[in-house]
């Protein structure tokens, strides 16, 4: 089984994003960027499936500016064998990402595509489901356990009330939730090795995909500020205030 894994270069999860002073967008100047955490889990899962002998080949893909090469090198340092960068300076929105990935799937013919359930920048949570729709494939979103079983894939999913298990016909799409696995740390020798692994670059135009945005960001603002309240001395004062001041109990 060949696995394609999609990775996004996104703001580092330890960095707090801020709007630009004119509210025209998000201020990302000199902000540390990293692989989207959910995508790290996707990479880890692909590598584990390869180490278990289920996957025969793993390929990582990223869409965005030249700097996404670093993100792909990280995926390869973790263990992915080769990478494809779809290079563009456009703001590629989820539907366009899904279309680009569809074109790559048709070229690469993987049996499984693993993606993070959402990116921690725009928090859309769309691409995996959209790709599944465009390909007419089954989807196992918010996965916390993936078990290959011949021609099908058993996926345990994190749902609001607990856990749900679905059986997917292959080829299929899986999107990762937090507890699927814990991504490995990259070791220095592997970083060196990753520099020699193949990284091909194409453009959306090469793939025949129109990535023109459908959504326009009109405004990016700070959320309403919540004022800090008061400190209470003890539990008795707390309960009294909740009863008589806030009137919530």
Positions in 24-63 near another protein (CB under 8 A)? 26
Contacting range for another protein; rule: CB under 8 A; set: 56-64, 75-83, 168-176, 196-204:
168-176
Minimal distance, residue 215 CB to another protein, in Å: 5
Is 178 in contact with 41 (CB distance < 8 Å)?
yes
3-state secondary structure of 118: coil
Is 1 in contact with 112 (CB distance < 8 Å)?
yes
Q: Which of 29, 52, 188, 246 binds another protein (CB under 8 A)?
A: 246
How many binding residues for another protein (CB under 8 A)? 78
Window 94-133: residues binding another protein (CB under 8 A): 94-95, 98, 120-133
Q: Which of 89, 151, 160, 210 binds another protein (CB under 8 A)?
A: 160
138 is a contact residue toward another protein (CB under 8 A)? yes
Q: Which of 1, 166, 186, 202 binds another protein (CB under 8 A)?
A: 166
Query: Which residues does 232 contact at the CB level (< 8 Å), separation at least 6?
Result: 238, 241
**26-to-16, 19, 23, 39, 224 alpha-carbon distances in Å:** 11, 4, 8, 22, 16
For another protein, the closer of residues 188 and 225 by Cβ is 225
Contacting range for another protein; rule: CB under 8 A; set: 73-81, 82-90, 141-149, 184-192:
141-149
What are the contacts of 17-21 at 24+ separation with CB within 8 A? 17/121, 18/222, 19/220, 19/221, 19/222, 20/220
Minimal distance, residue 197 CB to another protein, in Å: 30
Q: Which of 32, 107, 179, 193 binds another protein (CB under 8 A)?
A: 179
**Which parts of 57-137 are beta strand (E)?**
57-64, 82-87, 112-116
Q: Which residues pair with 58 in a beta bridge?
A: 3
For another protein, the closer of residues 57 and 148 by Cβ is 148
144 is a contact residue toward another protein (CB under 8 A)? yes
Contacting range for another protein; rule: CB under 8 A; set: 18-26, 66-74, 82-90, 103-111:
18-26
3-state secondary structure of 196: coil
Interface pattern 181-220 for another protein (x via CB under 8 A): ---------------------------------xxxxxxx
Q: Which residue from 141, 115, 135, 133 is spatially nearest to 43, judged by alpha carbons?
A: 115
Residues 74, 63: Cα–Cα separation, whole Å: 15
For another protein, the closer of residues 192 and 232 by Cβ is 232
69 is a contact residue toward another protein (CB under 8 A)? no
Q: Which of 6, 11, 105, 211 binds another protein (CB under 8 A)?
A: 11
- Is cis: bond before 229, omega within 30 of 0? no
């Amino acid at each position: 089984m060949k696995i394609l894994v999609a990775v996004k270069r996104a703001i580092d999860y330890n960095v707090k994003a801020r709007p630009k002073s004119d509210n025209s967008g998000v201020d990302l100047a000199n902000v540390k960027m990293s692989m989207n955490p959910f995508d790290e889990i996707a990479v880890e899962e692909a590598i584990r499936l390869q180490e278990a002998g289920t996957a025969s080949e793993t390929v990582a893909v990223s869409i965005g500016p030249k700097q996404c090469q670093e993100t792909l090198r990280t995926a390869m340092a973790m263990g992915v064998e080769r990478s494809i960068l779809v290079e563009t300076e456009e703001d590629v929105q989820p539907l366009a990402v899904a279309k680009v990935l569809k074109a790559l799937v048709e070229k690469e013919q993987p049996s499984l595509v693993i993606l993070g359930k959402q990116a921690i920048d725009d928090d859309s949570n769309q691409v995996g489901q959209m790709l599944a729709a465009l390909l007419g494939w089954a989807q196992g979103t918010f996965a916390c356990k993936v078990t290959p079983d011949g021609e099908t894939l058993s996926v345990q999913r994190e749902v609001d009330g607990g856990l749900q298990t679905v059986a997917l016909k292959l080829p299929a799409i899986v999107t990762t939730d937090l507890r699927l696995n814990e991504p490995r740390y990259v070791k220095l020798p592997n970083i060196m090795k990753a520099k020699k692994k193949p990284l091909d670059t194409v453009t959306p135009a090469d793939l025949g995909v129109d990535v023109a945005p459908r959504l326009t960001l009109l405004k990016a603002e700070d959320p309403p500020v919540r004022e800090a309240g008061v400190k209470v001395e003890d539990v008795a004062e707390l309960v009294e205030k909740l009863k008589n001041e806030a009137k919530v109990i």
